[in-house]
A and B are shown apart, each in its own frame.
Chain A
Amino acid sequence: SQQGEEDPQALSIQEGENATMNCSYKTSINNLQWYRQNSGRGLVHLILIRSNEREKHSGRLRVTLDTSKKSSSLLITASRAADTASYFCATEFDNSKLTFGKGITLSVRP
């Protein structure tokens, strides 16, 4: 079963704009992670936020986590055409398994 549900399913923005993607989950977690997948390729880890953290930054990425609402958001600032990809949130609640959502398709128009 899928633990994380991303929202929206698809997002189209202009280069230079910010992209915000949301993820909700159902059970308690140890950490939440965001991954990126270019078409037909493997997934690339972007950022991990632990359950006791509320916000984390990495370059143009900002992730927030609200465990009371069981939700997370990924913000990509100053988007570029190269950011076009699918983005997945994944939750780890068992120290052996990562459960993924269905993903968000982000299109950044030049």
Chain B
Amino acid sequence: SQTIHQWPATLVQPVGSPLSLECTVEGTSNPNLYWYRQAAGRGLQLLFYSVGIGQISSEVPQNLSASRPQDRQFILSSKKLLLSDSGFYLCAWSVRPPGTVGYTFGSGTRLTVV
């Protein structure tokens, strides 16, 4: 069966520090991968999506970047965190092409920038 792992679960980082969040998928090949951010009381904002290794599409220009070094690995990074980067970050995967079944989400990372 397919599983998605996302870590860490919580993170408190000072302003200006770097960030690396990792997401891995097991039990499937060639997934579409996604990073979403959820601010308090708001819906999910799509940050990045990837349809293949090294293929990253950015939805919102900001202080973050994403990379897909392996087929089932998706990394969200920042060189210098801002206070506004605080939020709940969710990784998700879908079959390719999507549209037949829903997305599967990881359990999320609660990031607090102080």
Q: Residues of A with Cβ closer than 8 Å to B?
A: 2, 4, 30-31, 33, 35, 40-48, 50, 88, 90, 92, 95-103
Contact = CB atoms under 8 A, between A and B. Distances in A.
A98 B100 CA distance: 13
A43 B36 CA distance: 11
A45 B99 contact: no
Contacts of B43: 2, 4, 88, 100-103
Interface size class of B (residues with CB under 8 A): 20 to 34
Identify which of A30, A42, A88, A92 gathers the most chain B CB atoms within 10 Å of its CB: A42
Given A48-B102, A96-B32, A98-B98, A41 B107 contact: yes
B99 A100 contact: no
A45 B103 contact: yes
Given A40-B110, A41-B107, A44-B105, A30 B99 contact: yes
A42 B90 contact: yes
Nearest to A34: B102
A99 B99 contact: no
Query: Chain A's interface: helix, strand, loop or mixed, by majority?
Result: strand
B57 interface: yes
B44 interface: yes
B99 A92 contact: yes
Interface in B86-114: 88, 90, 92, 94, 97-108, 110
A95 B106 contact: no
A98 B51 contact: no
A35 B44 CA distance: 11
A52 to B, nearest CB: 12
B108 A41 contact: yes
A98 B92 CA distance: 11
A42 B105 contact: yes
Contacts of A92: 98-99
B46 interface: yes
A110 to B, nearest CB: 25
B74 interface: no
A102 B39 CA distance: 10
